[in-house]
Amino acid sequence: MSTQNADQEVSRAIARMKAGILAFIFAIIGGGGLFVMTAWLLVKGGPQVGKTLNLLGHFFIGYEVTWLGAFVGLIYGALTGGIIGWCIGIVYNRIVGIPSTS
């Protein structure tokens, strides 16, 4: 194998993003992040708990700043994060010109 072929193979391996793995990571961050933010506000308490975060209920049906809402937010956050991560992986691989295998 020539040096040029070896360099191309390394570049392809480094440049490729696995869309499925990226979706999984974004799902963990999105779902976990929304769950932690909601739980933090509930533990913190106060007169108007989560006034701003409660606005997500307009987009995520069933979400509110309650313990049940924290679990609903976990699902919505994971779903939204997963879709965003998968899209980023697919678009990145298309721009770079490497077909996605996942």
Q: What would the pLDDT profile of 30-46 be if each residue is shown by its tens digit? A: 999 999 999 999 999 87
Q: What is the pLDDT of residue 14?
A: 66
Is 74 within the bounds of a domain? yes
Is 101 within the bounds of a domain? no
Domain that holds residue 36: 3-96
The number of folded domains in the chain is 1
**Are 85 and 24 spatial neighbours (Cβ–Cβ below 8 Å)?**
yes
Is 14 within the bounds of a domain? yes
Per-residue b or e along 36-63, where b marks 16 or more CB atoms closer than 10 Å to that residue's CB: ebbbebeeeeeeebbeebbebbeebeeb
Q: Whole-prediction pTM value?
A: 0.78
3-state helix, strand, coil in the chain (%, to 5): 75, 0, 25
Which of the four pLDDT bands, split at 50, 70 and 90, describes residue 97? confident
CA distances to 12, 43, 65, 73, 97 from 61, in Å: 42, 23, 12, 10, 38
Our measurement of the distance from residue 20's CA atom to the centroid of its chain's CA atoms, rounded to an integer in Å, reads 11
Is 46 within the bounds of a domain? yes
Mean pLDDT of 70-96: 94
Is 102 within the bounds of a domain? no
Higher pLDDT, 1 or 78: 78
Higher pLDDT, 18 or 10: 18
Q: What is the pLDDT of residue 56?
A: 93
